[in-house]
Chain A
């Protein structure tokens, strides 16, 4: 049956149909839905791992045991998982192992715009790149055959527009191959130098075989690389493109150009490129981010136009492609009006707000991390001065304090979410405990992985299916590492936050503050009725505006509360000296 399916859901369907049995991932936009959807099939064991490195090692172990396995992550997650990937390339697999990495050209929800194709090249692992949902499903399925036949993990590279676009797919039945028996093979699986030295040439040989495969274009009935010649091809341009760039080019040029659409982006074939170039008038390479296809052409001596026309930064669109190719670009409606920007903000009732207000009020230097709370850097809270990667808040805080000593120790904190802390904050905390800086780490425990859309993690007590699971006790963990000062504070209580921050910064030893309250968007969190403003009491002093709540605005010099957004958290009531907010549960009007 034909149906509309999101790219990530199509990958999950591909896992199901290919008989994958073990799935382990860490959430990250735009990759998250692959694993969320996979978990809806009871035939596959699925889990959220604490980080991508763990996830990939779990998938590797399952492959070793003879079952088809999977791990999924966003582009920066592959940096974390690069260690197992680069050596799994040497060991190869037992049963098929497939990795999804989702890039984010345009940085809709990411801290950088890296091009994951470099990882495939550097690790010498084959990479398939679908351009729509149908290909996402088909490529995922053949990736397992490819993995087993060529004895290698296989990467499927998604991007935001393929991952989060729905297009038409046709589904099939699930087929689970017989498990491959596990056999003790020390020379294959123990990568000591002596064994790895023997494996490296095998990897190089595999790359040559995969190049030859790309020349032949079709594998398992699926077109890896597609050649489409237009009429009188020698008189028209030929476009070499991958992923959505192919779709944009096709939209703009239609049947007036020829196409070499690359689906197997690593390794790249050679003769296929040469033949295509010979049959068209001129070659234009269209690819987002780095000029990988373009440089391949140049190495082969094919004259091409690529990044001299198209940008390295940001994502493409049909109008961008049309403009760069000198084609007509549609004119839209123009409105001569300045529309204020609408940046993402912390939600009404967000538990992070109270802590960031406190840090801003105490003029703390705040080293931050990756999650919803990165929004703490935005005005009016403006309480975050560094965000690098998962876990860096804790480790960089230690470095900052070691460099500046008591001068910074008295007013500098690191803030990190519960999921990010489990991902890679623990090791940084171990460093503080071990090498002893007088650092203050604040774990913003909202009891969920928030920004990616509410995934469970090792601190929540529930697994990916929402069933009860192991639950790591953050206080006990920090104490076990050697922290004597571990305290829990409710971020809805501004006075308690203020006292905790002041006292822990002043203390002559390292400390951890756990700022704990579940995310206000969680289904089980009961909201209080919305508050309202007594316009006779409100003097319009704008004190309440300093917490940056999206539910509070000023109308005619008085505060008003948006009844559709307010969850009655009451943080604003603590800002108001005139008791102008009314309707707070548990407080007399």
Chain B
């Protein structure tokens, strides 16, 4: 199988590392060669962060380039738009509708763009936008946004439910398992 590409984007500190760990676990269990690439360090301090997940028969490069992503999973609305040039023409975006102002917006030097969901849809990209923060809070913690997104992504993926559940079991700390499974289910059924 030709290499497929999933990008996970968001704001440093939002918990994208757990999402990539979970996806890596899932894809490995499905028999694929997998590479997952993260950025640590300075950009984690509230900057724009991106994680690349690649899978297929033989994966070479650890990164995803412009025009290559089959899926963009975004923890924050503007970040989905920032990385949209990495999406394939027929690619799928799954995004949280939460908005987090970056420093230039906070300082009044720039404005948070309006109507991003509609604008992204107008490019021809498939966009699935949901309020993950509310669903995460419903599950019991604002930190469960990552599992809500994973639940939503499971719609588009040819992987059995048991494989998802096994990947969640393997990556989420036991203490928060129930909460995270609830978040996954809320995302899936949203």
Contacts and interface: CB of A to CB of B under 8 A. Distances in A.
Contacts of A244: 61-62
A2 B32 CA distance: 11
A168 B120 contact: no
Interface in A4-34: 4, 6, 29-30, 32-33
A330 interface: yes
B47 A345 contact: yes
A171 to B, nearest CB: 14
Contacts of A240: none
A4 B40 contact: no
B188 to A, nearest CB: 23
Interface string B19-44: 00000110010000111111111111
Contacts of B130: none
B105 A330 contact: no
Contacts of A317: 61, 63, 65
Interface in B67-96: 67-68, 78-79, 81-82, 84-89, 91
Interface in A365-412: 372, 375, 378-380
B48 to A, nearest CB: 4
A61 B67 CA distance: 51
A53 interface: no
Contacts of B140: none
Given A342-B47, A342-B103, A4 B85 contact: no
Interface stretch (A159-167, A190-198, A510-518, A581-589): A159-167
Contact of A332 (B35, B46, B84, B120): B84
A347 B104 contact: no
B112 interface: yes
B86 to A, nearest CB: 6
B102 A342 contact: yes
A347 B46 contact: yes
A564 B82 contact: no
B108 interface: yes
Contacts of B175: none
B63 A329 contact: no
B127 to A, nearest CB: 11
Contacts of A4: 24-25, 28, 34, 36
A322 to B, nearest CB: 8
Nearest to B115: A337
Interface in A81-119: 108-109
A550 B35 contact: no
A109 B60 contact: no
Contacts of A525: none
B101 interface: yes
A247 B104 contact: no
Contact of B81 (A29, A160, A335, A451): A335
Contacts of A109: 39-43
A345 B39 contact: no
Highest count of chain B CB atoms <10 Å: which of A331, A380, A542, A553: A553
Nearest to A29: B41
A332 B61 contact: no
A344 B84 contact: no
Interface in A243-269: 244, 247-248, 250-251
B33 A168 contact: yes
B69 to A, nearest CB: 8
Contacts of B154: none
Nearest to B35: A167
B123 A160 contact: no
Given A335-B120, A337-B81, A3 B28 contact: yes
Contacts of A435: none
Nearest to B145: A564
A553 B105 contact: yes
Contacts of B107: 379-380, 545, 548
Interface on chain A toward B: helix, strand, loop, or mixed SS? loop
Given A30-B41, A342-B47, A168 B34 contact: yes
Contacts of B34: 4, 166-168
B59 A167 contact: yes
Contact of B102 (A329, A343, A451, A542): A343
A449 B133 CA distance: 31
B125 interface: yes
A123 interface: no
Contacts of B36: 4, 165-167
B177 to A, nearest CB: 20
Interface residues of B, number: 65
Interface in A123-172: 132, 160-162, 164-168
B106 A344 contact: no
A168 B59 CA distance: 10
A319 B62 contact: no
B119 interface: yes
Contact of B24 (A166, A338, A339): A166
A427 to B, nearest CB: 26
Nearest to A246: B60
B111 interface: yes
A80 interface: no
Nearest to A348: B46
A318 B3 CA distance: 13
A552 interface: yes
B113 interface: yes
A380 B103 CA distance: 9
Contact of B46 (A108, A339, A550): A550
B179 interface: no
A573 interface: no
A340 B105 contact: yes
Contacts of B120: 335
Nearest to A250: B60
Interface string A553-571: 1100000001010000000
Given A340-B110, A548-B106, A165 B43 contact: no
Contacts of A342: 11, 46-48, 78-79, 82, 102-103
A552 B116 CA distance: 22
Nearest to B90: A333
B37 A372 contact: no
Nearest to A315: B63
Nearest to B111: A340
A161 B37 contact: yes
Given A251-B61, A375-B45, A552-B106, A333 B35 contact: no
> Closest 10 A-B residue pairs measured CB to CB?
A109-B41, A330-B67, A29-B41, A332-B67, A344-B47, A165-B62, A342-B102, A340-B110, A319-B65, A344-B45
9 contacts: A132-B62, A162-B62, A165-B35, A166-B24, A166-B35, A167-B33, A317-B63, A330-B68, A339-B81
Given A4-B34, A162-B62, A337-B113, 15 more contacts: A109-B39, A160-B39, A164-B38, A248-B61, A317-B65, A334-B84, A335-B84, A335-B85, A337-B119, A341-B48, A344-B45, A344-B46, A347-B13, A548-B103, A564-B142
